Amino acid sequence: MQRLESHACFGGRQEVWSHPSTTLRCDMRFGVYLPPQAEQQACPVLYWLSGLTCSEQNFIAKAGAQRYAAHHGLILVAPDTSPRGEGVADAEGYDLGLGAGFYVNATQAPWSSHYRMYDYVVDELPALVDAHFPSSTARAISGHSMGGHGALVVALRNPGRYRSVSAFAPIVAPSQVPWGEKAFSAYLGADRAAWQAWDASELVSSAAEKLPLLVDQGEDDEFLASQLQPERLQAACTAAGHPLRLRLQPGYDHSYYFIASFIGEHLAHHARALKG
């Protein structure tokens, strides 16, 4: 572990760390915000998964979440969105390869050598956080767009691991929209049946735990109709009796202006679950 950045922020510290990942077989970076309460006690952890083209920097610099994390006493952990470095496979375009890990475990060459973001988020990163920072056993997860997809899938596949989950403009049915079809074809192969294990709208029907889902979606999002389609998740949750709070926000788009406008409400939602 190597600390790359450390900044005073709302009484706590915003840091960026680098470490060699055994899961992804490359060096990885993640942001961690330590609230002032972490100097005296173990604090709950909220994991944030970012979207396409992003790194750990987007959330920590643009969301304005540290103010609310300091108020609630939450540690914020924001990993990168894909493996990076020499020898890591890439492709042309922004929606496959570097910056587009989709939080799955790739099974197809050349991606399977490094692209195991699911295992990294679920296992390796929390183990590092618990070993090096004053974290409690209470965890929550959230994310945006591709990261919203990741947060929902990770929570649904791991009953009992997270006390709460939320998402901003998530890709709720990646097996049925262009972004997901492109990524899943490359990472997972042509068998669409295998894709269902990484699709939140499919997973709710068999979820062992009915963890309530909080989803915010901007109504002026340019990707709403083509890539996001929250109505698919709504229909799946209704059919399965899975609790979903879907909030359509008039006038908001896909940007971090949207996230910054509602991140305080999401952190309050998580704080209630993490401390309740």
Per-residue pLDDT tens digits for 258-276: 999 999 999 999 999 999 8
Catalytic one among 55, 145, 164, 166?
A: 145
Whole-number Cα distances in Å, 157 to 73, 87, 109, 213? 27, 30, 24, 13
pLDDT digits (tens, 9 = 90+) for 35-94: 999 999 999 999 999 999 999 999 999 999 999 999 999 999 999 999 999 999 999 999
- pLDDT by position in tens, the chain (length 276): 999 999 999 999 999 999 999 999 999 999 999 999 999 999 999 999 999 999 999 999 999 999 999 999 999 999 999 999 999 999 999 999 999 999 999 999 999 999 999 999 999 999 999 999 999 999 999 999 999 999 999 999 999 999 999 999 999 999 999 999 999 999 999 999 999 999 999 999 999 999 999 999 999 999 999 999 999 999 999 999 999 999 999 999 999 999 999 999 999 999 999 998
Q: How far apart are CA 126 and CA 138, in angstroms?
A: 11
| Structure-token pair, residue 101 | 């890990």
**Cβ-proximal residues to 252 (8 Å cutoff; 6+ apart), any chain:** 218, 219, 220, 221, 258, 261
Instruction: Answer yes or no: pTM beyond 0.95.
Output: yes
Q: Clarify whether 144 is annotated catalytic.
A: no
Q: What contacts 225, CB < 8 A, 6 or more positions away?
A: none
Active-site pick, 95, 201, 221, 269: 221
Among the listed residues 144, 149, 254, 270, the single catalytic one is 254
Report the C-alpha gap between 135 and 36 in whole angstroms: 13
145 is catalytic: yes
pLDDT of 190 reads: 97
Taking the C-alpha atoms of residue 161 and residue 82, their distance in angstroms, rounded to an integer, is 22
Active site residue 266: no
